[in-house]
Amino acid sequence: MNAYDSDRMKDSLLPLGYQESKDLQDADIIVINTCHIREKASEKVFSELGRLRKVKERAAEQQNRQVKIVVAGCVAQAEGEEITKRAPWVDIVVGPQTYHRLPDLVAKLDPLDRRHLIDTDFPPETKFDFLPEKIGKRGPTAFLSVQEGCDKFCSFCVVPYTRGSEFSRSAKAIINEAKKLISSGTKELTLLGQNVNAWHGDGLDGKEWGLGRLIRELADLPELYRIRYTTSHPLDMDDELINAHAEVDKLIPYLHLPIQSGSDKILHAMNRRHTALDYIRIIERLRSVREDVAMSGDFIVGFPGETDKDFADTINLINKIGYASAYSFKYSARPGTPAADKSEQVLEHVKSQRLLALQQLLDAQQYAFNKNCESMEFEVLVERKGLKGSKLNARTPYMQSVYFEGSESLIGKIVRVKVSDGRQNSLFAEIIS
Ligand code: 5AD
Ligand code: SF4
């Protein structure tokens, strides 16, 4: 979502005469978009700001140029004024729900006045109604935010506080944005939301729609090739969405559905409001309509009170489901969240051991999944040049990164490839048509 927000902030500065700078040293304004989800991500912001201070000072000394520095995103929201106290060279602090005001804030900055402008409101208006109509260039694949914020309040998570409460854009606004993206060359959309499957926006018929219905409507856009969505919550996986996986060809057979832990005791303490069995049942329902669906998830190890037995439950669950890929993290106590104050915090070295064991298992599952794809054929949308030589890069319908030889003129086109080599993190293939 930060990638999407960054693009929209960029779009919002275009009417002011700004354009994207290829080199940090040439920039007149630097916007750093930030993540508050874990301590590590949050702390990175301040080391990055230290680096930007030097860029700003050099421009002032050597070129008499006043570079403006903006901190946006969830760290901006959570820390507000703290940022300008710790890093007084920051000019603007803007939260994830007020970045449509960025052009006004930039215009208001007075180069001779050292005051900082801070806007971390949760405004009554939605930024989506105030962002410029015109969208800058996007690639063959693009993100589209359909839902934002979260009302679930998992006890470890800052999102409900930084992104605010749940909000669903209307189907009309989403479809209009999809059409704009498609006319700028996008062929594949990833629908985004912190709880994307909790989307319940106004439908085109005046009734409230769910995500499954929205996906069906988007799939009718003839030039759209493929649809993905992320990230989902188990409680919002309804039948309409599950059935869309069987009925909508353009929807990829892949689901990122975080569970966080396989222990019911920990799930309860996390305030997830579902059990491990509820989660397994959802995946069984999904696989009964779409057998080949590839699963992905998120896991947290070392949540307060997690015992060896609880951790073993997580390992058992992973063995039962079989993941094509997954993300895993050590629990990070976030200020202001209920879990941060719990007394039974798990020792750091125990968290590290558990993370290692969990990642070994997930890596082995991912490797087996990729290996199993050898000699399979996939239709893929060529996204970009590969890192080395003449290779191109795409994603399979199971979201694996796949590399193959081919001319750059194929970027944005659809080709059929046959997988020759399945490795840990990617596939290698040849174009067959
Ligand atoms: N500590 C560790 N991981 C976290 N996540 C969210 N909050 C925390 C935290 N405090 C993880 C969850 C979530 C993903 C986006 O980040 O797994 O699904
Ligand atoms: Fe955070 Fe996701 Fe839980 Fe919402 S559902 S509180 S975003 S982990």
CATH number where 88 lies: 3.40.50.12160
Measured CA to CA, the distance from residue 173 to residue 186 in angstroms comes to 17
Measured CA to CA, the distance from residue 307 to residue 354 in angstroms comes to 11
Closest CA to 245 of 261, 232, 258, 262: 232
Secondary element (H or E) of residue 431: strand 426-431
Closest CA to 347 of 389, 302, 283: 302
The pLDDT of residue 160 is 96
Segments forming the whole domain that contains residue 89: 2-119
Are residue 145 and residue 240 in the same domain, yes or no? yes
- Residue 125, domain member (yes or no): no
Task: Judge whether 269 and 295 are in contact, CB under 8 Å.
Answer: no
The answer to whether the CB of 194 is under 6 A from ligand 2 is yes
Using most ligand atoms within 8 A of CB, pick from 39, 329, 348, 358 the residue to mutate for ligand 1. 329
Residues of the chain with pLDDT under 70: 112
Residue nearest to atom 2 of ligand 1 (CA): 331
The pLDDT of residue 137 is 82
The pLDDT of residue 114 is 75
Residue-wise pLDDT for 316-340, tens only, equals 999 999 999 999 999 999 999 999 9
- Residue 70, domain member (yes or no): yes
Are residue 257 and residue 309 in the same domain, yes or no? yes
Are residue 281 and residue 242 in the same domain, yes or no? no
SS3 388: coil
Are residue 362 and residue 393 in the same domain, yes or no? no
The pLDDT of residue 208 is 98
Residues with CB under 6 A from ligand 1: 37-38, 156-157, 258, 260, 298, 300, 329, 331-332, 334
Rounded to the nearest angstrom, the gap between the alpha carbon of residue 293 and the centroid of all alpha carbons in its chain is: 20
User: Per DSSP, what are the bridge partners of residue 328?
Assistant: 299
Measured CA to CA, the distance from residue 141 to residue 186 in angstroms comes to 5
Task: Judge whether 218 and 227 are in contact, CB under 8 Å.
Answer: yes
Report how far apart, in Å, the C-alpha atoms of 83 and of each of 281, 323, 339 are.
Answer: 45, 39, 25
Q: What is the CATH number of the domain that holds 315?
A: 3.30.750.200
The token duo for 425 is 């993190």
Closest CA to 135 of 273, 254, 323, 7: 7
Report how far apart, in Å, the C-alpha atoms of 156 and of each of 37, 38, 357 are.
Answer: 9, 10, 22
Are residue 219 and residue 325 in the same domain, yes or no? no
